[in-house]
Amino acid sequence: MRKPSCLLLSLAVSGLMLTPVSAFSEIGAAPAEVVEVNASAPTTPFPHFWEHMFGSCRATLSLRESYRNDLRKTKSIVDARYVRFHGIFDDDVAVYDEDKDGKPAYNFTYVDQIYDGLLANGIRPYVELSFMPKKLASTPTEFPFWYKPIVTPPKDWSQWGDLISAFSKHLIDRYGIDEVSKWYFEVWNEPNIGFWLGEPKESTYYQLYDVTAQAIKKVNPRLRVGGPSTAQAAWIDRFIAHCSNNHVPVDFVSTHVYANDTSKDVFGTDENIPRRDMVARAVKKVHDQVNASAMPNLPIVWSEFNASFFNEVPVTDSPFMGPWLANTVRQCDGLTNEMSLWTFSDVFEEGGVPDKPFYGGFGLIATGSIPKAAFNAMALLHQLGNERLPLQSTSALATRAPDGSLAIAAWNYVPPGETGAPKQIKLHLSGVKPQQNCTVQIVDAQHGSPLAKWEAMGKPNFPTREQQKELLAAGTLPLPQTQELSGGDSPTLTLVLQPHSLALVRVK
């Protein structure tokens, strides 16, 4: 039987409607946003900078099978290449000890198991050099995470440098310089806030960076080192100036931002920057600072970003993440080299062991290996091509693949917790042969999101195995619906997207 055309198909029950425009006045939808997509237009490169790196909690969690299962699941849907975590020098990794005379002793048994596990799953380490081993710390002051990392400067700077040298040399001996030169070595985590207790914070961090970077480069200049790994997009211009003025090696700059950071913290202003724009504004700030610096070609790595640094169920556990991620990708394209979402998994213990599957965790995957809407949104965005087509829209991205096929993301962004209204997006496709096929895939509250199912169960803290199966099924990405484009030389496709919906349209 001949399939109905995309132009005439109505799928109201799915949350995505492809329907004649004349019906819109009857259903009370807003006027359509018309998006002109010219498949033959000149393109710009569109590297998938948002899907190569991901954050995770602390080093020893990577030894767990649940962590590795979630890592494999993530890599199955995106081009994941690196994982970053805290605490490779925490005492539970047992890297550093001292004998009765105070002489350092190093133990790399767990380091090897941690990095072997990543590499066995096709992932390279993004090595965050933190935190301070207790016996090397100037004071045993802990950051108030559940696992209590020590965040003070070393009692002896030369011993810290020796640890970095021994660690770097061991990695080269075990994995070879050709492999380890592809890793990133990042000095510490967010030293501008409570993760670093040196005083003054900035100057003592520069001392930490200098000792660390020089120790790494002394072992082998091919190793890649950078910083300052600050929160709230801080210090980048001054950090580069410090490295340039003092001839300190630096191969990349890194920093963090979250969409609910304040304008006061990120920009020193009293603006009210909405959640949808904060990350892109911060990325632009750092991009411009690097361009204006003495080292304008330094790669920029956002080694943490997300829609919230709080645990907010309506944000990170909900389908809101689909439009938020898509819009962030749209805005940040061309302004950064890599962005690392914090995190890929809710195998995560900063605030303690999770006591329910949905608590606003940062991960793409909930406890029990249950994919969230964000996981499936990432799977849709992965299908975008590597060439970007120009669009006059803040609700869509159009791309082209080497074979000429189109992949178009479209979304209905509504702030988290708000009801919102359906949004019409009318795609005019020029340069597409008549009678070509298109497919449509969607993530929204009813498709590819297990949150509603969990809420309907009564929000059980510890789902039964049968309930977990139901949640896994609810978190499965729906298969694409194949349809036939119509409309002559310039086919038209009209989408009606429910609030918090992300759609992926592919046209061959």
pLDDT digits over 369-385, tens only?
A: 999 999 999 999 999 99
Band (196; pLDDT cuts 50, 70, 90): very high
CB atoms within 10 A of CB 1: 3
Average of pLDDT values for 386-405?
94
> What pLDDT is recorded for position 435?
66
Q: Over the stretch 297-323, which tens digit does the pLDDT of each residue have?
A: 999 999 999 999 999 999 999 999 999
Q: Could you report the per-residue pLDDT of 417-466, keeping only the tens digit for each?
A: 898 999 999 999 988 876 677 899 999 999 999 999 999 999 999 999 99
Q: Residue 262: what are its φ and ψ, rounded to 5°?
A: -90, 155
Residue 304 designated active-site: yes
Query: Considering 51, 186, 190, 338, which one is annotated as catalytic?
Result: 190
3-state SS of 9-56 is CCCHHHCEECCCHHHHHHHCCCCCEEEEEECCCCCEECCCCCCCEEEE
Candidates 51, 304, 312, 338; catalytic one: 304
Quote the distance between the C-alpha of residue 187 and its chain's center.
Answer: 20
Assign 3-state DSSP to the chain and report helix, strand, coil percentages, each to 5: 30, 25, 45
Q: What is the pTM of this model?
A: 0.92
Cis before 19? omega within 30: no
| Fold annotation for 12-44+393-507 | Immunoglobulin-like (2.60.40)
Q: Which residues pair with 45 in a beta bridge?
A: 387
Check if 338 is active-site: no
Residue 322 tokens, joined = 């689909």
| Mean pLDDT (whole number) for 170-197 | 98
Query: How much is the average pLDDT of 81-98?
Result: 98
Q: Considering Cα of 286, then 288, then 294, then 298, what sign does the dihedral take?
A: positive
| pLDDT per residue as tens digits for the range 12-58 | 333 444 433 323 333 445 678 999 999 989 999 999 999 999 999 99
Write the pLDDT tens digit of every residue in 471-488.
999 999 999 988 777 666
Q: Return d(Cα 424, Cα 31) in angstroms, integer.
A: 7
Domain boundaries of the chain, sorted by first residue = 12-44+393-507, 53-352
At the fourth CATH level, which superfamily is domain 53-352?
Glycosidases (3.20.20.80)
**pLDDT at site 460:** 97
pLDDT band at 491 (very low <50, low <70, confident <90, very high): confident
Name which of 315, 317, 360, 321 is nearest 451 in CA terms: 317
